[in-house]
Amino acid sequence: MKSDMDPLMVQISPDHHQSLPSAYTFTKPKSKPSIPFLLLILTSLVSVAFTLGLIFLLYPILFSGWNWTISSYRYSVVIDAGSSGSRVHVFRYWFQSGKPVYDFSGDNYANLKLNPGLSSYADHPEEASVSVTKLVEFAKGRVPKASLKRSDIRLMATAGMRLLEVDVQEQILDVVRRVLRSSGFKFRDEWASVISGSDEGIYAWVTANYALGSLGGDPLKTTGIVELGGASAQVTFVSSENVPPEFLRTLSYGNVSYKIYSHSFLHLGQNEAHEKLWASLHNSAANSPEDVVVTDPCTPKGDNLDKNSHTDSFEEGRLTGSLQAAGNFTKCRSATYAMLQEGNEKCPYKHCSIGSTFTPDLQGHFLATSNFYYTSKFFELDEKDWLAEMIPAGKRYCKEKWSELKAEHPTTKEEYLLGYCFSSAYIISMLHDSLGFALDDGRIEFASKAGEKDIPLEWALGAFILKTSSATFDYAGLSRKMLG
């Protein structure tokens, strides 16, 4: 054995001063070429060739994405837990040249909404699991089993949950986390959370600007978002003003940095605001002498609407004075304006448009979404001239009798019909009277979708875009998800 080892020793630790020919002369005297030695050379060559071949084959997979094979699809799930319901969004995407490619149509995007919202389980947190399980089942139906473990699932709750006590929020989130942990999806506890209103605004802004092709471009050519939700309202746009830090968000996308004003007005969503106004009218009626009639200018006239229209949230029979539905757009507009301006005298900034909250001067184009859209659509308003058209439409609607309205709109839920007098007046007092959009301001359109591809203006899309695209900034273009 020892004699066979010798030539190997020579090869493995060659003398650096010796040239190749002298290595030959070294082995020559042994006269018997060793077979194991040749075999080793051969296997080395084969394995080098094999490795090179493998690298060649895998090169496109490792360095440019493998969108041409089925397994290249990635999946991501975002559950938007809003005040009125929870909507699950299932995204399918892929990588090309190390960058994620999105397509929110066909098989690449699906969503499902279930009512009521998570916040309605405040008294029975355990029951939230049924709803979340249904949403998870829907998502699982869209994601191949083999991809489940590396597809992340997130639940982001908004204003409905923000209004609950923190410990109640946590109880509900604990139930949610338990369901998501055992869902088969990739999940971490911190992925189920109550997000801030300004995050929600930023996500919606990202969705809109992605849809319009302005994300990654000139900040001054981006589009702002005003969103009227059920429990809160968001205002988000790029501002060149000096925005106080508590309202300023900086977003980096590609090599562009955006300075964005983003604020969520809690309690000023359409449903919360309507409830709040009604509660204050109810209180004044309750505290008035018996012969005093308090009028509700935001509810169309109709005997059956007096006193009892909102009884699900108030006990019956406590009224002493009476409350009368007396729809009047102008009065409703004043009442909602007064509500939006509450606390304005305490404005600590240069300028407050709503309450005592800072808002910079409006800048650029805007899209008005959610309830701004639904009300405008209901009244069949023109997309560009809608603010001006809202006033006569609201005036006609508010003064109409309830029985007439029901007859005119037999297919619309009464619950919604009951809201349009209020919402038409509220929209004008918020956008025009408070934020200062001119009635003929062509810079603001109502919309539920945007861009050539009609991408839905849901903030969950923006959350998905930011979560997946920021990952591609790690490792100079290769995402952690691709490597892992």
Ligand X SMILES: *[C@@H]1O[C@H](CO)[C@@H](O)[C@H](O)[C@H]1NC(C)=O
| Chain residues that interact with ligand X, rule: CB under 6 A | 254-255, 328, 330-331, 399
Shortest reach from residue 326's CB to ligand X, in Å: 8
Q: How far is the CB of 256 from ligand X (least distance, A)?
A: 7
- C-alpha–C-alpha distance, residues 375 and 285, integer Å: 29
Nearer to ligand X, 201 or 327 (CB): 327
403 among the known binding-site residues?
Answer: no
What span, in angstroms and rounded, lies between the C-alpha atoms of 405 and 378? 13
Neighbours of 316 (CB within 10 A): 8
Per the annotation, does 231 bind a ligand?
A: yes
Using Cβ positions, the residue closest to ligand X within the complex turns out to be 328
Q: How far is the CB of 308 from ligand X (least distance, A)?
A: 23
Which are the catalytic amino acids?
200
Q: How far is the CB of 330 from ligand X (least distance, A)?
A: 5
- State yes or no: 234 annotated in a binding site: yes
Is residue 376 within 8 Å of 446, Cβ to Cβ? yes
DSSP symbol at 5: H
**Strand pairing partners for 227?**
234, 369
Nearest CB to ligand X, comparing residues 396 and 480: 396
Q: How far is the CB of 283 from ligand X (least distance, A)?
A: 21
Question: CA-to-CA distance for 308 and 287, rounded, in angstroms?
Answer: 17
Contact 405, 418 (CB under 8 A): no
Residue 27 Cα distances to 20, 31, 34, 190, angstroms = 11, 8, 10, 66
Kindly state the tokens that stand for 357: 């909250």
Contact 236, 225 (CB under 8 A): yes
Q: Which two tokens stand for residue 385?
A: 């001239």
259/399 with CB nearer ligand X: 399
Number of neighbouring beta carbons within 10 Å of residue 419 = 21
Nearer CB in complex with ligand X: 65/327: 327
331 vs 449 by CB, closer to ligand X: 331
Binding-site residue positions: 230-234
Binding-site members for ATP are: 230-234
